[in-house]
C-alpha cells in the first residue's frame, strides 16, 4: 500500500495562456506502508513510471531490484481480475507477460499524451501552437490535455483520497521560524506568569484588603475604581498575551500548504496517477537524447537527458556512442 502526493512545481502563465514551469521542479512524495513500517521517498515527478518502464519483466533479478527499490510486496494484475502476484514469482508464474502489457499501456499513454519532439532533438516544445488538427502525434504543438481529448484511454485507478499538510518553504526558513516560535513561546510563558501574579494580587486586594477594611467607603468602593492601576495593568497583560498567542498561531501556520494525497494499493496505480497529473498540469515527457528511454520533463522544458543519464553524463555519453557504433557497424572517431 502506498500514499502518494504530487508537487507540480511553480507555474507562471504566458501571454497566450499556456503555462510554463519556473524554478521549482515537479516532484512527488511516495510513502510506502508495509506491515512493519512506513517510509517515504521524495523523487522527481514520474520516477515510478520511469523506473517501471525500464524493468525487464522476464528477468527475475531485474524484477527483484525494482521490487526492493519501491518495496513492492505484490503486483496487482487487472487482467487477472485483480490478482496479486509476489515479485519473486513474476517470471515463474508467467505474470511477466501481463506486466509487460501494463508497461506497454503506460508507454503508449506517455507517447500519446505527453511526448515532445520524438523525432528531432532540436525542436523547441510548446513554442509552435500552429500545428492543430492533432493527427500527428509527434507534433510538439498540442497540449497534453488536447491530445488526451484526441486519444482518450479510459484508464482508471482505485484510490482513497485525503489531505496532507506540507511545508513549502526552505529548510533555512524552517529553522528561522522554529527559533521565532521558541521565542514567542517563552514570551507567552512569561506573560502568563505575569498574569498569574497580577490575578493573585487582585484576588488579595479584593478579598483581603477590601473585606478587612472596616470603613464605609471601603465597603462601598468599587475595587476596579479603587485599584484602577492594578486592574489596568492586568488588562494590559491580558491584551498583550492574547496578541502574542495570536502571533504564535499565525507564525506556526505560516509556510504550510495542503496537498491531496492518494492511497493506492499497488505500484502501477502510482504510474497512472503520475501520468494523470502530468496531463492535468501540462508536464511533458521526452525520450532521453542518450539512451532513448522515456522520462518526464520535471525541470526546465529543455531537459534532454533522463534521470539515469543525468547522474553520470560522461558514462551515458560513452554508452550512447557505443550503441550507435554497434548499430552502424562503422567506427568513426
CB neighbourhood size of 21 (10 A): 21
- Strand runs labelled E in the chain: 2-7, 10-13, 19-22, 27-33, 38-44, 75-77, 83-85, 160-167, 256-264, 285-287, 294-296
Q: Grid coordinates in use for 217?
A: 467607603
Residue with CB nearest Zn ion? 288
**Where does this chain bind Zn ion (CB under 5 A)?**
288, 290-291, 306, 309
Minimum gap (Å) between residue 295 Cβ and Zn ion: 7
Task: Give residue 161's Cα distance to chain centre.
Answer: 14
- Say if CB 22 and CB 3 are below 8 A apart: no
- Nearer of residues 170 and 323 to Zn ion, judged by Cβ: 323
Alpha-carbon separation of residue 151 from 145, 268, 333 (angstroms): 10, 21, 43
Minimum distance of Zn ion from residue 296's CB (angstroms): 13
- Rank residues 162 and 313 by Cβ distance to Zn ion and give the closer one: 313
From CA 269, how far away is CA 197, in angstroms rounded?
Answer: 60
CB of 291 to Zn ion, least distance (A): 3
Q: For the CB of residue 47, give the shortest distance to Zn ion in the complex, in Å.
A: 14
Closer CB to Zn ion, residue 155 or residue 289? Answer: 289
Find the shortest distance in angstroms from Cβ 332 to Zn ion: 22
User: Which residue, 98 or 117, is less far from Zn ion as judged by CB?
Assistant: 117
- For Zn ion, the closer CB: 59 or 323: 323
Amino acid at each position: 500500500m502506498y500514499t502518494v502526493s504530487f508537487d507540480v512545481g511553480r507555474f507562471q502563465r504566458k501571454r497566450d495562456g499556456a503555462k510554463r514551469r519556473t524554478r521549482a521542479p515537479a516532484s512527488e512524495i511516495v510513502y510506502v506502508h508495509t506491515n512493519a513500517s512506513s517510509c517515504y521517498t521524495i523523487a522527481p515527478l514520474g520516477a515510478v513510471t520511469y523506473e517501471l518502464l525500464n524493468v525487464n519483466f522476464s528477468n527475475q533479478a531485474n524484477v527483484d531490484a525494482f521490487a526492493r527499490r519501491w518495496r513492492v510486496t505484490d503486483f496487482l494484475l487487472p487482467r487477472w481480475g485483480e490478482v496479486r502476484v509476489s515479485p519473486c514469482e513474476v517470471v515463474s508464474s508467467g505474470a511477466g507477460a501481463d506486466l509487460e502489457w501494463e508497461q506497454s499501456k503506460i508507454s503508449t499513454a506517455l507517447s500519446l499524451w505527453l511526448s515532445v519532439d520524438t523525432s528531432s532533438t532540436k525542436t523547441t516544445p510548446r513554442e509552435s501552437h500552429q500545428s492543430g488538427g492533432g493527427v500527428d502525434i509527434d507534433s510538439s504543438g498540442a497540449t497534453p490535455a488536447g491530445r488526451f481529448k484526441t486519444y482518450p484511454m479510459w484508464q482508471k485507478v482505485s484510490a482513497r483520497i485525503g489531505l496532507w499538510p506540507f511545508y513549502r518553504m526552505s529548510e533555512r526558513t524552517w529553522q528561522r521560524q522554529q527559533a521565532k516560535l521558541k521565542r514567542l513561546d517563552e514570551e507567552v510563558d512569561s506573560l502568563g506568569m505575569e498574569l498569574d501574579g497580577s490575578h493573585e494580587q487582585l484576588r488579595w486586594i479584593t478579598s483581603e484588603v477590601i473585606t478587612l477594611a472596616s470603613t464605609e467607603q471601603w465597603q462601598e468602593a468599587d475595587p476596579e475604581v479603587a485599584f484602577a492601576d492594578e486592574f489596568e495593568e492586568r488588562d494590559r497583560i491580558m491584551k498583550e498575551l492574547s496578541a502574542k498567542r495570536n502571533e504564535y498561531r499565525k507564525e506556526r501556520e505560516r509556510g504550510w500548504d495542503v496537498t491531496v494525497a492518494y492511497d493506492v494499493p499497488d505500484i502501477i496505480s502510482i504510474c497512472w496517477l503520475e501520468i494523470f497529473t502530468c496531463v492535468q498540469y501540462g508536464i511533458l515527457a521526452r525520450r532521453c537524447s542518450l539512451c532513448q528511454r522515456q522520462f518526464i520533463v520535471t525541470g526546465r522544458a529543455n531537459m534532454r537527458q533522463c534521470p539515469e543519464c543525468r547522474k553520470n553524463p560522461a558514462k551515458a555519453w560513452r554508452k550512447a556512442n557505443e550503441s550507435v557504433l554497434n548499430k552502424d557497424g562503422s567506427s568513426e572517431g
